[in-house]
Chains A and B, each alone.
Chain A
Amino acid sequence: MLIDLAEETTKVKHDALIFGIPELRITEASRTLPGPEDVDNWLEPLVQQLTKPLTSKEKRSGKWAPENPRILFEGTLDDAQAFYQQTENLPGILDAPFSMYTDGLPIIVPTEEKVKEMLTGTSHKPDEIITVQRDNEVGMDTIRIRRKKGEVVQFMPMYRTATVEQVAVNAVMAGCKPEYFPVVLAIAESGGGTGDGRGGGGSFVVSGPIVKEIGMNVSYGRGSPGNPPNITIGRVGRLLWRNLGGYKETVSTIMTYGGGGGGALLHGEYAEGLPPGWKGLNEELGFKKKDSILMSGGGGAGGAGGGGQFWMPGVYRALQKSGHGAIARWLDVKGIPGPHNFLDYLLDGMWACREGGVTLVMIPSMAKDLWDVGFKTKDSVYEYIYKKSFEPLKRYRMRGRPDFATNGWMGIERTSGKHWKELPDDYMIPVCPDPWSNCIILAHGEETVLDRGGGGHGQGYSIDAWR
């Protein structure tokens, strides 16, 4: 017997089919009733389901093997566009239309010729199954999954697999050029932005020579309209989630995440702007400076919006040029020209309404300001942020995520080695779990502002492996 929350039954039945027990018996609990009252409503029927004889349908076995023809449509380009854009109405989203093959936008029609052209962007064979190219570990909080080189990548939420050609079809549909394809394949290797099925399209940072080769916009305005690689590669994650993963809101996933619109988050790192001694993301993740890599799952991923003090760019300039303005007053350096350590000001209130690491997207002159005040490596910045994040356990207990992240406070607190329930109220807990949870990404630009978010360091995937 399985107990779910009422509106999840469509999704649960869907999963039961994928796992080969389509007639799994389900009892529906309430999202709103108090627990004792809710349990009272369905306890007896629940227990009866353990003894109620099986129906003939429940006794049935067989094979579920949905067809997936390689050629999906044959016709004119206009008819093909209409075919790929067809929608179905989903009751779970109040009968709103939901695209059957796209992210909701028009696409480039994936003709045989276009897909063949896309495949010139890689040396990998069209029928090769997407596999992990080197050992890695993915996941969040206490849920971590180790993946071995050669392991077949499964696209969630339907645990599907894909060939290089099927990824190429989606890349064509997104509007990518063949030279972007190795990046797209690395995105596919990472799971294609599908996560555990509620992926949202992913969060990706590209680091290394390929950033320049394909002309990514690495400026602070990297998400703005106009740059083909950023926009089209950024779109791929959503198509892979829909088509390879089989995402269908309220049908193949519960309606928890994936909101917010927009495309996948995609950055290209501006490594030329790093101060001496600061490593690029490729080197931070264990690759070489000459390697082109994709960082997936970090770098400003959703669900962990930034906090801390904001400022107008001129206020920052005034601080560093002459020691004037609000930041100078806060730092008590009025009238003293910079460089000044602006991290103290930035981090004030950073964790007021969130936990976790801090991802900063900053321009070169601000990185240089940090370098000038003594942060000779990125690691020293990460360590500094981590040390600033401690707060008393009494306050930490009031936060939203630790109930989940600590498995209901049942485990051991890492910094003390003691059980959570043995620690005194004034024990200091790091709200940022470790220095590596922080991340700096350089963007080109002159305006002295910076983006802050969560995500930290994700997992690195070789783009070169997919050339």
Chain B
Amino acid sequence: MASKKDAIYQCLSPVGNQEPVDMSPIAPRLKSLDGKTIHLSICGEPDITIPLEKRLKGDYPDVNWTVKKTYNINPIQLSEEERKTTDGVILGVCW
């Protein structure tokens, strides 16, 4: 008979359950930005996002820029209607 030191035990996993995830490709890219509606979703880091907004609007005047901003870490969501009319999104700064 095996001593306790040599006995074999089944030991359980302490790890939680990771639910399976359906992975999606990233959204198709645009051919050109001209005349398109691009949404700038700003959360935090105003020292970056203030010059970013200024530069985007100045350097790309043919884009219809829409902006929502919060100081918090959770971005303000687009409505269903806004999603239908938005061609692309830039989100940041994530922290």
Contacts and interface: CB of A to CB of B under 8 A. Distances in A.
Interface of A: 1-5, 8, 12, 17-25, 27, 29, 34-36, 38-40, 43, 46-47, 50-54, 58-66, 68-78, 80, 83-84, 101, 109-113, 115, 142-143, 155, 158-163, 165-166, 169-170, 173, 239, 243-246, 254, 403-404, 406-408, 410
B24 to A, nearest CB: 5
Nearest to B50: A35
Given A5-B93, A21-B23, A54-B25, A76 B13 contact: no
A245 B15 CA distance: 8
B59 interface: yes
Given A47-B33, A173-B14, A76 B22 contact: no
A343 B87 CA distance: 59
Nearest to A194: B16
18 contacts: A4-B93, A4-B94, A5-B94, A5-B95, A20-B24, A21-B26, A34-B47, A36-B51, A50-B38, A50-B88, A61-B25, A73-B11, A76-B6, A109-B9, A166-B15, A243-B15, A404-B72, A408-B71
Nearest to A65: B20
A47 B92 CA distance: 14
Contact of A2 (B30, B72, B92): B92
Main SS of the interface on chain A? mixed
A404 B90 CA distance: 22
Given A51-B30, A75-B8, A109-B9, A163 B17 contact: yes
B25 to A, nearest CB: 5
B5 interface: yes
Contact of A39 (B21, B31, B51): B51
Interface of B: 4-26, 28-33, 38, 45-52, 55-56, 59-60, 70-74, 88-95
B7 A76 contact: yes
A78 to B, nearest CB: 7
B92 A80 contact: no
Nearest to A153: B16
Contacts of B95: 4-5, 8, 254
Contacts of B60: 47
A20 B26 CA distance: 10
B16 A158 contact: yes
B29 A71 contact: no
Contact of A52 (B18, B29, B73): B29
Contacts of A29: 45, 48, 92-93
Contacts of A35: 47-52
Contact of A112 (B9, B52, B73): B9
Nearest to B63: A47
Contact of B21 (A64, A244, A403): A64
Contacts of B49: 35
A74 B59 contact: no
Contacts of A113: 9
B21 A65 contact: yes
A176 B5 CA distance: 23
Contacts of B45: 5, 29
B94 A21 contact: no
Contacts of A163: 17
Nearest to A62: B23
A77 B15 contact: no
B25 A20 contact: no
B12 A112 contact: yes
B16 A160 contact: yes
A462 to B, nearest CB: 22
Contacts of B59: 43
Given A39-B52, A50-B30, A143-B74, A169 B21 contact: no
